Structure 1
Amino acid sequence: MVLQIPRIHFYEIDDQAWFPSFLREKVQACLTLVWIKRFPPFQSSSPATLVVKTLQSLLGPSIKDYTFIDFCSGAGGPTPHFEREINKALELEFIEQYHETTKKSTASVTRRKVVNETNGTLRTADSDNDNNNSNDTSVDFILTDIHPHIPSWRLACSHSPHLHYIPHPIDASAAPPDLLSQIHSSSSSATIPHRKPFRLYSLAFHHFSDPLARAVLKDTLRTSSGFAIFELQSRNLGSLFTILLLGPLLWGVSWYYFWGDWVHLFWTYVVPVTPSVVVLDGIVSCLRTRERGEILRLLDEVEEVDGDWRVGWRFESGRARHTWPFGEATWFVGIKDG
């Protein structure tokens, strides 16, 4: 594939220390809206749902073997949606398997009753009904960021026992080895099963400069069994056109989705800072987005991690349209076999 635009690592307004934190929260709220809402007729599903389907397709049944750690979570982003959709699907799968097992068990007990009645006795086989009815297949998600958003995370986690957060700053290039022991949850008794760590970078990896991106990848390979880089944009003219449409979209729907947040509405309609920053930073994000070959080159430049880290890792990548006609998400996923 011939790239239409060369990669340029400009600066985004939302990343700058001088940008007011309260406005940064409004910008991040808009990005979350773009992630999780579907806007027909241009979208058949939300971008977040598209990401969930991608993870389910790539990981298959092994999705239950991981704990998902979201780095650069911002105010929460799409991760609560990921958790809700994936665990809903796992619960439905569990219920279907349970009913299928129950049918087989009932048929087995009936056959045994017939045999025992023939022998002059009537006995129920309790062992056939000794099924574990608890759904222990749910997966956990953890929110982290170098600038934690505790109030937003606490609210999000209050809606699910499988969503947690780390209250301390977490550097994606130097994550602590005892990360899972630092979680906070809506339930003080919450525990996370010992599962393989899987890192998520949702609309985040393009923020890293090349040296920082290499450091993040090195730490990811060292401490994780898998990772996924998801971007809502590609580096092409079609994505730039789609991003330009975000301005009028946010201007048109913010009154509905943010009604009651008068600060947000003021900086959208009276002084349109919020939609302007979303669009300007979106253009820069588009120019920063890396293609598959560029991520692989960064991986090739990563210094040795516990021997030859390439052994046992496989990489998948792709793109999928989330908004008609040109809006597409890109993804790059690494999975460590075994």
Structure 2
Amino acid sequence: MAPLVPRMHVFEFADMPWFPPFLRAYMQAALTATWTTHVPLLQTSSPAQIVAHLLRTHLGPTLHSHIFIDFCAGGGGPTPSIERHLNTTTPTTTTTAKTQTNGTRASQDGGGGEEPLHFVLTDLHPHADMWAQAAAQAAAPGAISYVAEPVDAADVPRELIRRYTGGEKKVFRLFNLAFHHFDDGLARRILRDTVEGGGEGFGIFELQDRGIAGFVACCLLGVGIMILAPYYALLWGAPMALVFTYLLPILPAVLVFDGWMSCLRTRTPDEIEALLRTCGAEGGEEEIAKWEVMSGSEMFMWPVGYVDWVICVKRDGARRD
């Protein structure tokens, strides 16, 4: 069913260049916590666990033939948690890996079973220090790499793709809580680059939509941050987060407001498919017809917490060997 509210490309405080970077960092940390936290009595699983399950289910036996590149990684987001869930629940080889200073995997050897899945963190505004920590804490050695230079998801250097695939892996692009930030023109350019850039699939994962549940979930996020702020302030080593949560409640207020704006920005699967079909990719409709679009909504917290997802992959006959 189409949402009653039309999509609106409204502004969010955290997108503004004048928004204080330290507050933006707190917000990114809070959103990462939303992705990765699993409260057993309240949640069936964390959103990151759901994304890991979706990737395993819909990529099936081709899962290990992919390398996963997060093109809007921010401070790390859920990708390190997704890596952990997939590489600790999937039989893998015993490996040794070397990681260069920019996070690029240099070598990996092992025998028996599958190689660990490999994830690459990139962004137009890199967070190399945070990504280095995530890479060091990966479940499998060398499983997380990062690109310390800016990467434009609408114009990804082909050399970067070759650097990580080695001509052997298929690229699967991740957009975690990110695709709603792009206006229609930029979204089309990103999808065109995805189709023309040798990729074999992409996934768009959001924690909000334009329905009532999405707006209520954003309110609960604000409440949750106020309840858990002491714990996260200690975890982040950021006592000033308490000041901006309780004394000056800017953090919960902006999280809720930007969450509502994100709801208004979020596209339905049909709207994403329409952008894909009109992205202007070389080969036109014939090329787009090679791609299969799957979508759904998975509850992670009753009654309003959902992961809304779109996974698009090349159909079997169109995939390269």
> TM-score band, normalised by the shorter chain?
0.7 to 0.9
Q: Is the 8 A contact 1:42 1:325 kept in 2?
A: no
User: Which segment drifts farther, 318-327 or 211-220?
Assistant: 318-327
Conservation of the 8 A alpha-carbon contact between 2:122 and 2:146:
yes
Name the residue aligned to 1:215. Answer: 189
Aligned residue in 2 for 1:225: 200
AA in 1 matched with 2:124:
I
Query: Is there any run of 5+ residues in structure 2 with no aligned partner, and where?
Result: 95-109
Give the counterpart of 1:281 among 258, 261, 271: 258
| Aligned AA (1:254) | A
Mapped to 1, the partners of 2:17 and 2:2 lie a distance apart of 36
Quick one: which amino acid aligns to residue 66 of structure 2?
A: Y
The residue that corresponds to 2:106 in the other structure is: none
Letter in 1 for 2:5: I
How many pairs were matched up? 294
In 2, Cα distance between equivalents of 1:273 and 1:134: 52
2:145 to 164, 170, 173: 164
**Partner of residue 235 from structure 1, selected from 207, 210, 213:** 210
Partner of 2:156: 175
Q: Provide the rounded CA distance (Å) in 1 between the counterparts of 2:125 and 2:277.
A: 30
Shift of 1:322: 1.5
Residues 1:310 and 1:324: Cα distance change in structure 2 (over 3 Å) = same
Separation of aligned partners in 2, 1:232 and 1:3: 16
The one-letter amino acid of 1:275's match is: P
Give every structure 1 segment of 4 or more consecutive aligned residues whose post-TM-superposition deviation is greater than 6 Å.
none
* Partner SS for 2:288: coil
What residue in structure 2 maps to residue 270 of structure 1? 247
Q: Which moved more, 1:254-263 or 1:66-75?
A: 254-263
Aligned to 2:57: 57
Letter matched to residue 160 of structure 2 = L
**More deviation in 214-223 or 299-308?**
299-308
CA distance in 1, matches of 2:170, 2:16: 34
Identity across matched positions, percent:
40
**How far apart, CA to CA, are the structure 2 residues paired with 1:13 and 1:194?**
41
Question: What is the CA RMSD across the aligned residues, in angstroms?
Answer: 1.9
Which whole-Å CA distance do the structure 1 matches of 2:161 and 2:240 have between them? 36
SS at 2:312 equivalent: strand
Instruction: For 1:16-27, list aligned pairs within 5 A.
Output: 16-27=16-27
Structure 1, residues 84-134: CA drift from partner, whole Å, max 9, x if none? 111112227x79xxxxxxxxxxxxxxxxxxxxxxxxxxxxxxxxxxxx844
Q: What residue number does 2:168 align with?
A: 194
Give the TM-score taking structure 2 as reference length: 0.87
Q: CA deviation at 1:9?
A: 1.1
What is the rounded CA distance, in whole Å, between the counterparts of 2:220 and 2:152 in structure 1? 33
Deviation at 1:167, TM superposition (A): 0.4
Q: Does 1:329 align with 2:310?
A: no
Give 1:254's aligned residue. 229
1:119-130 matches, within 5 Å, as none
Question: Equivalent of 2:290, from 309, 312, 316?
Answer: 312
Instruction: Give structure 1 stretches of 5+ with no counterpart.
Output: 96-131, 184-190
CA contact under 8 A between 2:196 and 2:281: conserved in structure 1?
Answer: no
Deviation, structure 1 residue 193:
8.1
1:26-65, Cα deviation, whole Å (9 max, x unpaired): 1000000000001343211111111111111111121101
Q: Following superposition of structure 1 onto structure 2, how do residues 71-86 of structure 1 map, counting pairs within 5 Å?
A: 71-86=71-86
Q: Which amino acid aligns with 1:201?
A: F
In the alignment, the residues of structure 2 paired with residue 181 and residue 133 of structure 1 have an alpha-carbon distance, to the nearest angstrom, of: 24
Deviations 1:275-330 (A, max 9, x none): 22111111111111100111111112111324532242111011111121122121
Residue identity matched to 1:162: A
Q: Which moved more, 1:327-336 or 1:142-151?
A: 327-336
Report the AA paired with residue 282 of structure 2. V
